[in-house]
A and B are shown apart, each in its own frame.
Chain A
Amino acid sequence: MHASLSFDQAPPISVPYRFFLVAPWFGVMAGILLAWSGSDAFVSRWTPEALALTHLIALGFMLQAMCGALFQFIPVAVGGNVWRPKLVANTVQPLLLLATLLLVAGFLFSRPGLLSAAVPFFLLALGGFVMVVALALWRTPATGMTLWAMRMAIGGLAVTVLLGSLLAEALAYGLAVPIVELTNVHLVWGLGGWALMLLAGVSYHVVPMFQLTKPYPLWFTRWFGPLLLLLLLAWSLRLFLDLSRWSMLVTLPLLAILSVYAGLTLWLQYTRRRKIHDATSLYFRVAMVSMLILAISGAAFVLWPALGADPRSVVWLGILAFAGVFVSAISGMMYKIVPFLNWLHLQRLGGPISAVPNMKKMIPAEAMTGQLRLHVLAVVLLLAAVWQPGLTRLAGLTLAASCAWLGWNLVGSVRRYQGFRDQIRAAA
């Protein structure tokens, strides 16, 4: 009975860390690229710099971190067994890294050959990842809305990768496909179908867990994922039908459910039982406030077309989504997961448990909150730079500095893990 059930918490510590340790440095690259390209980068979403920046954050920062987190989250939260996690992680992570660098170079230097060269690596890395994760998610006997959200998210990732690969080949070989519409569909599946769906599914667990809030109401967890999926499908119809007249009927409900999710999460946090605040809870707030601003400004762009016609309006929304929502939420999650995993793996070494330092000894609290402040400053400067191009270089440097600090905090945590591990082994 339930032979496939995983009750052990975790894959080897190297599995999630391999991904987590790389992610922030892609943020650093994005910041440096922005500082280097200066005020031209944000003129529109189609500049080579903007496309390169988007993929540095989406694939280098977000996807790396989210893949690493899934290896950890699936066994613990939904009792799924990921097939040979070490082997899969050791294969997927470097392939994904290589594919991302090829793709970004292809955008930045306008070399379509590099875009096409990246495709087989993406298909191999993410095709393998999707299959292994999907198998674990479908075979687990667990139930619940987090599981369903994760199943939908992994489907969203598959759609995003397929559309992205098609786009890369279309650009490389000049295939006759509607590039703009395909890009809009690819983008919304990546941000909504994969990243937001996963974030929501994970929130159902971690928001109550880290802050002792009330659970998300049943009506919400039951409807949010399926409704999001339905709206994404409706949005994708633009590939086949002329949607310009009723595009509003899809966009506004989409923005409305974003605000419900963000507003509800903020309310749950506000009425939480645990009074203590830490970098994780603050980062989650930054993410949710960014999502609310995104929804409100997105709605304004739809309702006042003169405002939305400015190509910079989409850049504004992009910065809110990538830097404001996802980089924030992911950074906050890593600040909780990494110290806990350090502790968990250290106390398994078999020494006396009291010899294992607690989570607060893994990353100094001041280093986390200081980095958080710098990140918020980076987001504000990035948003300001959309309308005041003179600020672009400063915004880029601030983003690079805040991501470097995040990376440094994580590296420090791993070094402390190694130091404590050696001490415990020596004592035993």
Chain B
Amino acid sequence: MSVTAPLFQHHKHCDELFAQAEDACAGGDWATGEKAFALLLDQLETHFTSEEELLFPAFETATGMTSGPTEVMRGEHRQMRDLLGQMKDALASKDSDAFGGAADTLLILMQQHNMKEENILYPMCDNALGSSDVGASLVERLKVS
């Protein structure tokens, strides 16, 4: 298994959680929506921090690239955290329009972010970190609770 394979799988897991939360909140089922959203928030946060604390520093150390792709990815994590914050507020005030708008935006941002990671950054990480123990640590962190 490659170093980044667990992150790859975890993207799909987060997609699933996103669809559940969006579906429930759009249909006005706020109780289910709240649970699904809490799970989504938790898993995305785990994903972001795993990359920011483990993968990116290891990649930067191995390649010396500190201001390139990883910097862009960190910036997009910030944007996604902010949209998640907007979704949380909308959920609290049971505003399905605001929730839907922020969710729609998050989805595209998240998908094109994943696309860049999966197609470009992860293969670069697999090359640079093939012999390290980063992969094992990622498996440990991303265990679905």
Residue interface bits B68-95, CB-to-A below 8 A is 1, else 0 = 1100110000010011011000000000
Q: Which of A95-103, A128-136, A306-314, A351-359 contacts B (4 or more CB under 8 A)?
A: A351-359
Q: Is the CB of B19 within 8 A of A275?
A: yes
B residues less than 8 Å from A8 (CB atoms): 72
Is B120 part of the contact surface with A, judged by Cβ < 8 Å?
A: yes
Q: Please report whether the interface of chain A is mostly helix, strand, loop or mixed according to DSSP.
A: loop
Would you list which residues of chain A between 308 and 363 have a CB under 8 Å from chain B? 336, 340, 343-344, 347, 353-354, 357-361
Residue interface bits B97-127, CB-to-A below 8 A is 1, else 0 = 1101110110111011001100110011000
Q: Is the CB of A276 within 8 A of B108?
A: no
Would you list which residues of chain B between 54 and 75 have a CB under 8 Å from chain A? 63, 65, 68-69, 72-73
Give the distance to chain B from A132, nearest Cβ to Cβ, in Å. 21
Q: Is the CB of B120 within 8 A of A5?
A: yes
- One of B86, B97, B108 near A210 (C-beta < 8 A): B108
CB-nearest residue of chain B to A73: B112
How many A residues have CB within 8 A of the partner chain?
35
Q: Is the CB of A276 within 8 A of B86?
A: no
CB-nearest residue of chain B to A78: B119
Q: Is the CB of B102 within 8 A of A358?
A: yes
Q: Is the CB of B97 within 8 A of A360?
A: yes
CA distance A353 to B72 in the complex (A): 16
Is A144 part of the contact surface with B, judged by Cβ < 8 Å?
A: yes
Give the distance to chain A from B39, nearest Cβ to Cβ, in Å. 15
Is B134 part of the contact surface with A, judged by Cβ < 8 Å?
A: no
Would you list which residues of chain A between 181 and 215 have a CB under 8 Å from chain B? 205, 209-210, 212
Q: Is the CB of B119 within 8 A of A358?
A: no
CB-nearest residue of chain B to A206: B111
Is B51 part of the contact surface with A, judged by Cβ < 8 Å?
A: no
CA distance A352 to B98 in the complex (A): 17
Q: Please report whether the interface of chain B is mostly helix, strand, loop or mixed according to DSSP.
A: helix
Is A273 part of the contact surface with B, judged by Cβ < 8 Å?
A: yes
CB-nearest residue of chain A to B90: A358
Known A273-B19, A343-B105, A358-B104: A144·B119 in contact at CB below 8 Å:
yes
B residues less than 8 Å from A78 (CB atoms): 119
- One of A9, A210, A275, A343 near B23 (C-beta < 8 A): A275
CB-nearest residue of chain B to A275: B23
Q: Is the CB of A274 within 8 A of B22?
A: yes
A residues less than 8 Å from B100 (CB atoms): 276, 360
Q: Is the CB of B111 within 8 A of A209?
A: yes
Is A7 part of the contact surface with B, judged by Cβ < 8 Å?
A: yes
A residues less than 8 Å from B73 (CB atoms): 7
Would you list which residues of chain B between 1 and 58 have a CB under 8 Å from chain A? 15-16, 18-19, 22-23, 26
CA distance A235 to B112 in the complex (A): 37
Q: Is the CB of B105 within 8 A of A77?
A: no
Please report A residues at the B interface, Cβ cutoff 8 Å: 1-2, 5, 7-9, 76-79, 141-144, 205, 209-210, 212, 273-276, 278, 336, 340, 343-344, 347, 353-354, 357-361
- A-B contact list, 22 entries, CB within 8 Å: A76-B115, A77-B115, A79-B120, A142-B120, A143-B123, A209-B108, A210-B107, A212-B18, A212-B107, A273-B15, A274-B18, A274-B19, A274-B107, A336-B108, A353-B82, A354-B82, A354-B86, A358-B83, A358-B102, A359-B108, A360-B97, A361-B101
